[in-house]
Structure 1
Amino acid sequence: MQRRTLLKGLLVWATLPLGFLADKLHAAPWFAKAFEATKTADVMGALQASAVPLASEIQIDAPQKAENGAVVQVEITSPAAAGTVNSIRLLADANPTPLVASFEFGKQVMPKLVTRIKLAQSGEIIALVQQSAGQLQQQRRQVIVLEDGCASNERDEPFASSIKMRARPLDADLVELKIIILHPMRTGRSKGDDGQLVPAHFMQMMQVVLNGQVVVDAQTGTAISRNPYFTFYLRDTKVGDVITVNWQDNRGYEGHGQVTVSA
């Protein structure tokens, strides 16, 4: 379901004030500067992350060669325990705007995630991990891109969206949450059949709410692939717990989904 204004009274929004996502967007002064920056060094500067050391324990799982740069699956994993990592930021060094997404984690979330991104050309994928004590670490992985994924032809079709979610236990207190949001994720750099640029239309914010508490607060740019896909891992979560996902895009559309953890 999508809408231009939040509807009062919906259960899934009961724990969030009206317009919360929009307020959060404006409250993040680094957001626009970091996502609009065209150089990785400028993104790092906006994130106050210059001269960050490499950490061999952080892993980036991505293909060595990406035949289609429009859909490149990336998995980022840190061996740290849930609650010890505040955020993971994902960059693609060779993209027109390198910052792909930023994920802030609550204490229940394992520092591990999976998503699919667009890569314009060969270059490094960068994972920037911030510990709860404030220390920053990074890891990089080179990916060869055979086809530009950021500027392919597309049509500006009528917008319709939906969301699919699955939450299943992996052990006694660990739940795997998978999310797919149907959304065009247009970059604003692609051309339609008439040769004209198709206006940008992309999801900007997403929140995962566990039993009324925000546990993942994500900001996303144009380089998340069409129909955004995410996997998160939640500790201290069990069968019967309720998980809600809320999102908002750059045109003001908003949507939600809800799932109950089941065996």
Structure 2
Amino acid sequence: MQRRTLLKGWLAVASLPFWLAMQKVQAATWFVRAFEAKRTDQVMTALQANAVPVSPDIQIEAPQKAENGAVVQVEIASAQAAGSVANIRLLADANPTPLIASFELGKQVLPKLVTRIKLAQSGELIALLQQPDGQFRQQRRSIIVLEDGCAGSEREEPFSSSMKMRARPLADGPLGSKITELKIIIVHPMHTGRSKNDDGQLMPAHFMQLMQVVLNGQVIIDAQTGTGVSRNPYFTFYLKDVNMGDVIAVNWQDNRGLEGHGETTVAL
């Protein structure tokens, strides 16, 4: 996927005054054709991912049975080194729009992430990984869903967003040495456009579409998200060769053009 510029002028956001960093920004193009596709095969066609082999190297950690489909924590991981996976896409074949999220990974990002998603009904969760040479691999996991997480009732509240971030170095272990864990929580309603409020009326779609993670002024994660990401989006990423005191910024924008910014430094 070609590198996108989500927030114009923010590639050096760590060095900018806060008031300047928060100026109005221009959004990149959200991949409408893939995210609005109604079937998994249509998503695969949009991504040009056909006849994709299943790879035992890819692991999906998720509950076998999800009591509440509105919040299902999922971990996707590959044993490959940082820089060996260009993109991770997450799909749920039984969702009204199967493509949940797409993550373009920089050379310092391990092919491992954690997020929380919505599942409409029982079906297969699909992790689709793309290598820098364009080749695709996939893994699938069946999940039983007891309660629809995509079209139930939702709270209708005035919009107010905030962000919490933490970046801390991990002890040497299975992921290797000099690994930093980055956790992000963004307060956002993530309305699907298919849920009803307390009066039984459909609530308009309102969801985060674009997110970038910027390390010392360089984009290292370029994400697109759809309505299948849970309320108050949560992400964990793992970064290689990041130093104490390095500055990590996160910038996001939603389908209404609203946007947010946060930053943290790597610390114990």
Could you state the TM-score of these two structures normalised by the residue count of structure 2?
0.90
Whether the aligned pair in 2 keeps the contact of 1:6 and 1:19 (CA below 8 Å) is no
Structure 1: how far apart are the matches of 2:252 and 2:13? 15
Structure 1: how far apart are the matches of 2:222 and 2:48? 19
Alignment of 1:25 with 2:29, yes or no, is: yes
Structure 2: how far apart are the matches of 1:21 and 1:132? 27
Q: What aligned pairs does 1:32-43 form with structure 2 within 5 A after superposition?
A: 32-43=32-43
Distance 1:87 1:7, change over 3 A: closer
Of 192, 206, 215, 2:211 maps to 206
Of 238, 249, 252, 1:233 maps to 238
Whether the aligned pair in 2 keeps the contact of 1:21 and 1:205 (CA below 8 Å) is no
Partner amino acid for 2:106?
A: G
Structure 2: how far apart are the matches of 1:11 and 1:140? 38
Alignment of 1:251 with 2:253, yes or no, is: no
Structure 1 runs, 4 residues or longer, greater than 2 Å off: 5-8, 10-16, 18-21
Alignment of 1:193 with 2:194, yes or no, is: no
Distance 1:194 1:12, change over 3 A: farther
Whether the aligned pair in 2 keeps the contact of 1:174 and 1:238 (CA below 8 Å) is no
Structure 2: how far apart are the matches of 1:13 and 1:142? 45
Q: Structure 1 residue 154: deviation in Å?
A: 1.6
Structure 2: how far apart are the matches of 1:7 and 1:82? 27
Q: Structure 1 residue 63: deviation in Å?
A: 0.3
Q: Which runs of 5+ in 2 are unaligned?
A: 1-6, 172-176
Q: Structure 1 residue 155: deviation in Å?
A: 3.1
Q: What aligned pairs does 1:4-83 form with structure 2 within 5 A after superposition?
A: 11-12=13-14, 14=16, 22=27, 24-25=28-29, 31-83=31-83
Partner amino acid for 1:137?
A: R
Q: What secondary structure sits across from 2:41 in the alignment? A: helix
Q: What aligned pairs does 1:213-224 form with structure 2 within 5 A after superposition?
A: 213-224=218-229
Distance 1:223 1:76, change over 3 A: same
Distance 1:21 1:100, change over 3 A: farther
Deviations 1:200-238 (A, max 9, x none): 000000000001000000000001000000000000101
Q: What secondary structure sits across from 1:45 in the alignment? A: helix
Distance 1:96 1:79, change over 3 A: same
Alignment of 1:121 with 2:125, yes or no, is: no
Structure 2: how far apart are the matches of 1:162 and 1:240? 23
Structure 2: how far apart are the matches of 1:188 and 1:20? 25
Q: What aligned pairs does 1:102-181 form with structure 2 within 5 A after superposition?
A: 102-171=102-171, 173-181=178-186
Deviations 1:79-101 (A, max 9, x none): 11001110000000000000000
Q: What secondary structure sits across from 2:86 in the alignment? A: strand
Whether the aligned pair in 2 keeps the contact of 1:6 and 1:254 (CA below 8 Å) is no
Q: Quote the sequence identity (%).
A: 69
Q: Structure 1 residue 156: deviation in Å?
A: 2.5
Q: Structure 1 residue 34: deviation in Å?
A: 0.3
Structure 2: how far apart are the matches of 1:78 and 1:230? 17
Deviations 1:120-168 (A, max 9, x none): 0000000000011221100000000000000111233110000000100
Partner amino acid for 2:103?
A: F
- Which piece of structure 1 moves more, 97-106 or 192-201? 192-201
Whether the aligned pair in 1 keeps the contact of 2:8 and 2:25 (CA below 8 Å) is no
Q: Structure 1 residue 195: deviation in Å?
A: 1.1
Q: Which runs of 5+ in 1 are unaligned?
A: none
Q: How many residues align?
A: 253
Q: What secondary structure sits across from 1:128 in the alignment? A: strand
